[in-house]
Structure 1
Amino acid sequence: MGAEADEQPHGAAVVADGFGLKGPRGWAFRKVSFRAGPGTLVAIEGPSGSGRTCLLLALTGRMKATEGHAEVGGVRLPRKPGAVRRISALGHVPGVSELDPAFTVAEHLRERALLQRRFDGSVRAFLRRPAERAAAARARIDEAVAAAGLDLAALPKGERTSVRDLERLEALRLSIALALIGRPRLLAVDDTDLKLSDADRAEAWALLRAVAEAGTTVLAVCSEAPEDALRITAGTGSEDQPEEPEEPAERTERTESAGSADPAEPESAAEPATDDTPEDTVPEAQAGTGTGTAGTAAAATAATATADTGTAAASTTEDDTEEGAADALAETGRA
């Protein structure tokens, strides 16, 4: 059985069929289908905001898809995300697995090796002597650093270099080395070509290509994929998002139609409604002999056909102020 296990590929095959994820604001991605064999370099291509990071996290068991299914190393998603997380590792993913700028390179490496031994180590490993455990951790660190192409001696302060002092490409190499300490079958890296020059971008893709050729399947998010990679595009499903605002739009139309039905009766009093501008009309009426105010009130009385408003109109005199005129209009129901 040991020989058969050695013949099996180390990398995990990735298969997606109608894979999609919908969030509160609509579809992050949907209808993603592809097949990638073990040791394949898969480039998730697209602009920022196209759902590419969500697809990366969903394929590694960190986000739960809502449509379709996928398989990573024979483990089905979204049914068994925990099993997928155990065989996959994240490199640089902003907001999820970021480097601590205050830590040195050596501190990051030792911490990851310690966590790896604590949570993924076997019982037999805990029974070893401390010197043997330290040697095994050091060997695993050296293996991962070499696979990531991280030259510790070339750093400004060697292993004691802080992350904040690393160049973008060196920080990417460190994040990949940390992920490879766990010897994953699937490696996922976000923003692979972000803020890299053409030369550094070529080196980054050469690194990921070497990791894939060594047997580990690689998922890499990028804005522009190399020609030799399996290109995957995460669709945003933008054509489905406008469906949500339709209901508020209908409510607005119903409100407008309902509002237009209510003022139907006052339309008959549109001509005598010139008193609705008290600053202009009312003072002119008061400047006359008083008949203007009385006439306006009389017109309002005819429009409303109520005895109370007729009495209010008859009592209107020249000494009425603008406030009194506004009160009269309020009594007629046209203020």
Structure 2
Amino acid sequence: MGTETEEQPHGAAVVADGFGLKGPRGWAFRQVSFRAEPGALVAIEGPSGSGRTCLLLALTGRMKAKEGHAEVGGLPLPRRMAAVRRISALGQVPGVSELDPAFTVAEHLRERALLQRRYDGSVRALLRRPAERAATARARIEEAVAAAGLDLAALPKGERTSVRDLERLEALRLSIALALIARPRLLAVDDTDLKLSDADRAEAWALLRSLAAAGTTVLAVCSEAPEDALRITTLTGEAAPGAPGAPASDAETAAAEPGAEERAEGRAPADATTGVPDADQAAVGETAADDTTDATTEEGAADALAETGRA
């Protein structure tokens, strides 16, 4: 029994079959189908407002899908959303899991380590001596920082550097380090390549590849996916009249399940606006099987995200 447990991969397999999420004005995404093995790098590609973040949150148990089903590490969605949240972690997701610009890097890391011990620690761990608990927290922080490639000594003021003074790539590394403190089986990162130069974008993908190679399954939202990733692509286009994904006036509100990070940190939601074009958006899931999704709307994605406090 022990040998079998040790041989199980750390990463969580992710399987989706006809997965869809609906907001009051239409589908955020629909008919998403793919299979990712443990330790895979999955890129959710497409323009802003096309349902990328909604899919990311739904696959990590933070938003409740309305049709189809998915499994993460063998845990069915949406039935086992809480269990999926326990084995997954979010990098920075605007309005859901954000860095506080007034906090220093050290403050963020210490806070996340304390929260990890408070909410996920065993009773035995809570009964350890303070010095032993502190040493364990330091070890977790050092492990996560190293895995995220965050060089504290190279920052302007070292670990006392405020988040507002970080470059975009370093802020991304910090958000990933914070997520890795939980040692998740599934890591989800939003806006991976946003405002990055070509060189920084290459570094960001190299980091995510290294995490996947180490065994953690990675979901990454991006505008352009690398060729070696399992790609799920959303594209803008006209929805055919009467299409199954056309927005309906009686569409139900997508239920949201905010993650542990949002509840624990109590951050104020960020301001975000989403343009509402006249044309609907059709989403296409590009995987190894070349699966496709039905029509979705930018309004549907915005409304679904509003349930998490983003829009």
Query: For 1:243 and 1:141, how far apart are their aligned partners in 2?
Result: 45
Which residue does the alignment assign to 1:201? 201
- The match for 1:169 is 169
Q: 1:5, CA displacement in angstroms?
A: 1.3
CA distance in structure 1 between the aligned counterparts of 2:2 and 2:131, rounded to whole angstroms: 28
Cα contact 2:27–2:246 (8 A) shared by 1: no
Matches within 5 A, 1:230-245: 230-234=230-234, 238-239=239-240, 240=243, 244=248
Q: Measure, in 1, the Cα distance between the counterparts of 2:247 and 2:98.
A: 36
- Cα distance per residue 1:55-99 (max 9 Å; x no partner): 000000000000100000000001110010000000011110000
Q: 5+ residue gaps in structure 1? A: 246-335
Partner amino acid, structure 2, of 1:133:
R
Partner of 2:212: 212
* Alignment partner of 1:131 is 2:131: yes
1:26 aligns with 2:11: no
- Superposed CA deviations along residues 305-334 of structure 1, whole A, max 9, x for unmatched, are xxxxxxxxxxxxxxxxxxxxxxxxxxxxxx
Taking only the aligned residue pairs, the percentage that are identical comes to 87
Q: Pick the structure with more helix per residue.
A: 1
Q: Higher relative CO (CA 8 A, sep ≥ 6), structure 1 or 2?
A: 2
Query: For the residues of structure 1 that align with 2:120 and 2:247, how far apart are their CA atoms?
Result: 46
| Matching of residues 51-62 of structure 1 within 5 Å | 51-62=51-62
Partner of 1:46: 46
What are the equivalent positions in structure 2 for 1:1-335 lying under 5 Å apart? 1-234=1-234, 238-239=239-240, 240=243, 244=248
Aligned-pair CA distance for 1:10: 0.2
Shift of 1:42: 0.1
User: How far did 1:127 drift?
Assistant: 1.4
**Alpha-carbon contact 1:109-1:178 (below 8 Å) kept:** yes
CA displacement 1:105-134 (0-9 Å, x = unmatched): 000000000000000001111111100000
Structure 1 residue 102: Cα displacement? 0.2
In terms of Rg, which structure is larger? 1
Structure 1 residue 242 displacement after superposition: 5.4
Secondary structure class of the residue paired with 1:224 = coil
Shift of residue 244 of structure 1? 4.2
**CA-CA distance at 1:3 after TM superposition:** 2.5
User: Structure 1 residues 157 and 5, CA, compared in 2 at 3 Å: closer, same or farther?
Assistant: same
| Compared CA separation, residues 70 and 243, structure 1 to 2 (3 A) | closer
TM-score norm. by structure 1 comes to 0.71
Distance 2:6 2:210 in 1: 20
Provide the rounded CA distance (Å) in 2 between the counterparts of 1:38 and 1:73.
Answer: 8
Which secondary structure state, in structure 1, belongs to the residue aligned with residue 115 of structure 2?
helix
Change (3 A) 1:117 1:219: same
Closer, same or farther in 2 for the Cα pair 1:118/1:238, shift >3 Å?
Answer: farther
| Aligned residue number for residue 251 of structure 1 | none
> Take 2:209 and 2:113, find their aligned partners in 1: how far apart are those partners?
24
Report the RMSD for the aligned CA atoms in angstroms: 1.4
User: Structure 1 stretches (4+) deviating beyond 6 angstroms?
Assistant: none
Question: How has the CA–CA distance of structure 1 residues 133 and 238 changed in structure 2, closer, same or farther, with 3 Å as cutoff?
Answer: farther
Q: Distance in 2 between matches of 1:11 and 1:176?
A: 16
Distance 1:87 1:140 in 2: 16
Q: CA deviation at 1:2?
A: 2.6
Any unmatched runs of 5+ in structure 2?
250-311
Distance in 2, matches of 1:242 and 1:37, equals: 32
Aligned AA for 1:232?
Answer: I
Separation (CA, whole Å) in 2 of partners of 1:197 and 1:76? 38
2: CA distance, partners of 1:204 / 1:148: 10
SS at match of 1:232: strand
Distance in 2, matches of 1:151 and 1:242, equals 48
Instruction: Tell whether the 8 Å contact from 1:30 to 1:234 is kept in structure 2 after alignment.
Output: no
